[in-house]
């Protein structure tokens, strides 16, 4: 019987569960997958000599200043398993014209009706792997002396609950305070979780299979910049499929404050109306359309939306016309949109999803952008069609429960297991010289079944007064700092260290 691992365990038991897994495999006579660890243990550890918190007298409560990914399109999408590496999605793209020639005589045969045309789209899985830092198993749990406590409590854990839709309960690590409760392997698993979150979030938009490694060790899935495009082709013939093209427009780096026609309000209102009309004409109404943009762009956009929305056409139709604007009402309109996270269009409160992983440019990247300004895209995403009965945008993941685990069983490679309903595959490398580490991988993809109902307005510029902190290390306003190499322990005086500096305070 193969050893099993319950990845929904309370985090305080995860480290012990690893060892239980190894011992059970050995006790059952199972073959331990001999993937030998190499190199030296990778510190720092949490506690003990040289630990990050290996300091006497610390207060119990810990505050994290790690900038979380507080908003994300990916975390709102439904998810389903799959084992199909290259699915083929069929479409009816139109019918041949059948009104080119009318019959002459009353007894002549009428014209034959034109047959319908089809298109097929495909997609691929991405692939991303991380591993924990290598740890010396007997070093875990050490402390300097009785002056060091393992009861630190983190008030705001670094993992975002549900991030990217694929990590709703990542490895069962819901109680993240366990990362400071002397559970060294839990802390290292949380590090892996943060790394996955930072990969998922931007890949939703910029993922491109052309960036995959030649050997297949790293793969990207198609992100929204590819899925929402005007380059749809039949997967088997390469034939263009214009009826599946998305609505993509360029705002040409104009600022949201620009009142020249067409201003930002007219453009977005027109795109939204066009997509709603398209859904109605294709029998896909009602369609759930939502905007996705960066938080700082939305904040600036709402500054000008109320005035431009209320005075649409009036100001441009007659420049000599006097307009009376209710300032208090306009401010209330703005605040309600910000609080409710929506834009008002045709009397409808259209939801706005804030996502700070959308690629953003500044003046150093593009001289068209003013100093202090930023430019990014605004997406119009169809979440569902026909009143929610048709899935239009969702996650898929390769389900390791289907084919992978039976293969593990057949090979008696008992140190491999899945977590999160088959989303992640894990391997515990066989202990060698007392050192252990874990490897993991995920193979996800994003599916957009109705690209013709999606839109993207590119290169929208704004000049915020203050830019918010960025969550990704690659972005301009990412803040970091602090000690990463642990706290050296002063050696006490002893028989072998008569000149030591002592224990200090």
List C-alpha distances in Å: 338 to 305, 390, 456. Answer: 11, 30, 21
Report which of 475, 482, 477, 459 is spatially closest to residue 467, judged by C-alpha positions.
477
Neighbours of 123 (CB within 10 A): 22
Q: Which residues, in sequence order, are CB contacts of 276 under 8 Å at separation 6+?
A: 285, 287, 289
Omega into 43 within 30° of 0, i.e. cis? Answer: no
What is the model's pLDDT at position 30? 38
Chain centroid to Cα 280, Å, comes to: 31
**Token duo for residue 138:** 């007997």
Per-residue pLDDT of the chain (505 residues; tens, 9 = 90+): 444 444 444 444 445 555 455 444 334 433 334 445 555 677 788 888 888 888 888 888 888 888 877 768 888 899 999 999 999 999 999 888 777 777 788 888 777 777 889 999 999 999 999 999 888 888 887 888 888 888 887 877 777 666 666 777 777 666 666 666 667 888 888 889 889 999 999 999 999 999 999 999 999 999 999 999 999 999 999 999 999 999 999 999 999 999 888 999 999 999 999 999 999 999 999 999 999 999 999 999 999 998 888 777 665 555 566 666 677 888 999 999 999 999 999 999 999 999 999 999 999 999 999 999 999 999 999 999 999 999 999 999 999 988 777 777 776 666 788 888 889 998 887 666 788 889 999 999 999 999 999 999 999 999 999 998 888 888 888 888 888 888 777 777 888 888 766 544 3
- Give the three-class secondary structure for 448: strand
pLDDT for the residue 213: 96
| Contact yes or no for 349/342 (Cβ under 8 A) | yes
Q: Which residues pair with 349 in a beta bridge?
A: 344
Q: What is the pLDDT of residue 7?
A: 47
Distance of CA 505 to the CA centre of its chain: 45
Would you state the pLDDT for residue 263?
Answer: 93
Phi, psi (deg, nearest 5) at residue 233: -135, 155
Res 58: pLDDT: 85
Among 95, 89, 86, smallest CA distance to 243 is for: 95
Residue 320: the pLDDT is 60
Whether the Cβ atoms of residue 270 and residue 282 lie closer than 8 Å to each other = no
Q: Find the distance separating the first CA and the last CA of the chain, reported in whole Å.
A: 53
For tokens 């109605």, name the residue.
Answer: 280
Asked if 291 and 378 count as a contact pair (C-beta separation under 8 A), the reply is yes
pLDDT at residue number 269: 97
pLDDT of residue 4: 45
Judge whether 306 and 330 are in contact, CB under 8 Å: yes
Token pair of 100 as six digits: 């080119």
pTM, rounded to two decimals? 0.85
CB-neighbour burial class of residue 108 (10 A; exposed 0-12, middle 13-18, buried 19+): exposed
Distance between CA atoms of residues 379 and 367, nearest Å? 24
Residues 6 or more apart whose Cβ sits within 8 Å of residue 291: 268, 343, 350, 351, 352, 353, 378, 379, 380, 381
Residue 332, H or E segment: helix 327-340
Strand partners, 94: 117
Q: What is the pLDDT of residue 504?
A: 44
pLDDT at 431: 66
pLDDT at 177: 67
């Amino acid at each position: 019987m193969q050893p099993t691992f319950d990845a929904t365990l309370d985090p305080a038991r995860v480290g012990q569960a690893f060892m239980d897994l190894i011992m059970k495999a050995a006790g059952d006579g199972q073959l331990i997958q001999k993937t030998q660890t190499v190199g030296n243990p990778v510190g720092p550890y949490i506690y003990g000599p040289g630990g990050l918190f290996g300091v006497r007298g610390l207060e119990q409560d810990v505050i994290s200043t790690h900038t979380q990914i507080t908003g994300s399109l990916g975390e709102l999408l439904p998810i389903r398993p799959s084992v199909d590496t290259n699915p083929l999605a069929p479409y009816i793209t139109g019918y041949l014209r059948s009104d080119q020639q009318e019959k002459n005589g009353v007894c002549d045969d009428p014209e034959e009706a034109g047959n319908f045309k089809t298109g097929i789209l495909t997609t691929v899985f991405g692939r991303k792997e991380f591993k924990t830092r290598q740890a010396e198993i007997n070093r875990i749990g050490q402390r300097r002396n009785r002056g060091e406590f393992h009861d630190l409590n983190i008030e705001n854990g670094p993992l975002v609950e549900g991030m990217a839709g694929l990590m709703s309960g990542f490895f069962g690590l819901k109680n993240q305070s366990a990362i400071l409760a002397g559970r060294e392997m839990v802390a290292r698993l949380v590090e892996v979780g943060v790394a996955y979150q930072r990969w998922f979030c931007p890949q939703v938009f910029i993922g491109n299979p052309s960036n995959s490694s030649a050997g297949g060790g790293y793969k990207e899935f198609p992100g929204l910049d590819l899925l929402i495009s005007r380059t749809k082709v039949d997967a088997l013939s390469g034939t263009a499929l214009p009826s599946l093209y998305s609505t993509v427009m360029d705002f040409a780096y104009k600022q949201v404050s620009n009142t020249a026609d067409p201003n930002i309000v007219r453009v977005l209102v027109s795109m939204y109306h066009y997509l709603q009309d398209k859904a109605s004409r294709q029998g896909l109404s009602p369609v759930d359309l939502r905007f996705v943009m960066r938080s700082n762009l939305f904040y600036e956009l709402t500054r000008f939306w109320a005035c431009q929305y209320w005075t649409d056409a009036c100001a441009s139709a007659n420049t000599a016309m006097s307009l009376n604007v209710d300032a208090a009402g306009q401010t209330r309109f703005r605040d309600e949109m910000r609080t409710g996270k929506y834009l008002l269009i045709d009397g409808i409160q259209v939801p706005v999803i804030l996502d700070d992983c959308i690629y953003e440019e500044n003046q150093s990247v593009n001289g068209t952008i003013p100093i202090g300004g930023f430019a990014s895209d605004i997406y119009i995403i169809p979440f569902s069609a026909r009143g929610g009965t048709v899935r239009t945008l969702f996650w898929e993941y390769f389900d390791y429960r289907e084919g992978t685990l039976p293969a593990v069983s057949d090979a008696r490679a008992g140190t491999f297991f899945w977590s999160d309903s088959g989303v992640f595959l894990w391997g515990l490398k066989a202990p060698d010289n007392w050192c252990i580490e874990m490897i993991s991988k995920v193979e996800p993809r994003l599916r957009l079944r109705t690209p013709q109902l999606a839109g993207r307005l590119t290169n929208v510029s704004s000049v915020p007064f203050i830019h918010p902190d960025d969550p990704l290390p690659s972005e301009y306003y990412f803040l970091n700092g602090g000690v990463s190499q642990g706290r050296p322990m002063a050696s006490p005086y002893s028989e072998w260290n008569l000149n030591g500096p002592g224990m200090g305070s």
